[in-house]
Amino acid sequence: MTDGQAQDISALESDADVQAAQELVHARESILGEVGKVIVGQQEVIEQLLVALFARGHCLFVGVPGLAKTLLVRTLAEVLDLQFSRIQFTPDLMPSDITGTEVIQQERATGERRLQFVPGPIFANVLLADEINRTPPKTQSALLQAMQEYQVTAGGRTLPLDPPFFVLATQNPIEQEGTYPLPEAQLDRFMLSVYLDYPSEDEEQRIVETTTSGYTPELQHVLSGEDIIRLQEVVRRVPLAPTVLAYGVRLARATRPEDASAPDFIEEWVRWGAGPRASQCFALGGKVRALMRGRYAVSRDDIRAVALPALRHRIILSFSAEADGVTQPDIITRLLDVVPED
């Protein structure tokens, strides 16, 4: 850690927060190292997952088949010593297959029958919703309450989910036949939309070498669930300068065609812009990113760094944009160039 990092962290209000902030710096490095034993490259993707995790958010994973999305999530859960659960979303999946259901159980001694709730796979710390767009909206919505309120209503009862609770939903961008696109309201529940790209040539050579040999890495636990909850609380206590907060809000509002601050290209290419959750994601994502780099002061660069994954799924393109071949990343890149920082 540099002297500048130590000086930033020393601004924390308590010795416990100082220690926790330093722990987050080391945890980031250790997690990247441990996950890197299994996953080649994708450091930016892993870091975006950590930003969402420590900000108590959820991630939407988008990538073509074969990029180790499931392996990455499973490895991250193991390194963090969290309970992992995977649901393969299919057209015939029912909400009860996710939340759980009541079954009739008979006592052997008395012969008495009674209803007993059997928890579903959602009762885990890290939930991988694989190919979430392959199941109907009724089943997709079974995740909404859990993602927002950290509880599940099933069998006439509302049951809490054990924290930390982290949902990662995957989508395949190249196969749209037989899929059910997520409604905008559900997309908005995901803090970040994380895109996995193809590896470089060198990385692909390393992938083939390690996966076709007897290489079996031993992973070390870096954090526990209690550690993560404690660090999530520290993130919330990080102050946000009014000028930085205002920049994040200004950036989110600039995506709305009806807003007076929206540039001309937003009015032409965007049908619906990002809501207040985007501003919240900027603030929390910026705090986590600053802490992971040993800084207790959130900068505009931290906001800009989370802008793409925070806005990509919250901007609905107009017909003109689709006709012109304009994408959400194109619009976000232009926004970052034109929205004033002061």
* Secondary structure of residue 124 in the 3-state scheme: coil
Query: 341 and 208 in one domain?
Result: no
Number of domains in the chain: 2
- Whether 190 and 59 have beta carbons less than 8 Å apart is answered as yes
Residues 206, 117 within the same domain? yes
Residues 203 and 76 reside in one and the same domain: yes
CATH number at residue 258: 1.10.8.80
Pair 207, 311 in one domain: no
The pTM of the full predicted model, rounded to 2 decimals, is: 0.86
- Amino acid 1: pLDDT: 44
Looking at residue 38, which CATH number applies to its domain?
Answer: 3.40.50.300
pLDDT above 70 as % of the chain = 94
Q: Are residues 157 and 29 in the same domain?
A: yes
Taking 70 as the threshold, does the pLDDT of residue 154 lie above it?
yes
Q: Could you tell me if 181 and 245 lie in one domain?
A: no
The pLDDT of residue 116 is above 60? yes
Residue finishing a domain among 222, 237, 252: 237
Is residue 99 located within the same domain as residue 145? yes
* The domain boundary residue, chosen from 185, 206, 237: 237
Residues 111 and 230 in one domain: yes
Both 322 and 204 in one domain: the answer is no
pLDDT of residue 20: 76
* Confidence at residue 263, expressed as pLDDT on a 0 to 100 scale: 93
> Residue 320 — pLDDT band, cuts 50, 70, 90?
very high
List pLDDT tens digits, range 272-310: 999 999 999 999 999 999 999 888 889 999 999 999 999
> 173: burial class by Cβ within 10 Å (0-12, 13-18, 19+)?
exposed
Domain boundary among 214, 237, 260: 237
Could you tell me if 133 and 225 lie in one domain? Answer: yes
Same domain, 312 and 334: yes
**For residue range 256-272, what is the model confidence (pLDDT) as tens digits?**
999 998 999 999 999 99
CA gap 68, 50 in Å, rounded: 17
Average pLDDT over residues 127-154: 86
For residues 273 and 221, state if they share a domain.
no
Burial of 239 from C-beta contacts in 10 A (0-12 / 13-18 / 19+): middle
Segments forming the whole domain that contains residue 330: 238-342
Highest mean pLDDT among 116-120, 234-238, 254-258: 254-258
Render pLDDT for 34-74 as a digit per residue (tens, 0 to 9): 998 888 888 899 999 999 999 999 999 888 777 888 888 88
Query: String of b and e for 75-101 (b: at least 16 CB within 10 Å)?
Result: bbbbbbbbebbbbebeeebebebbbbb
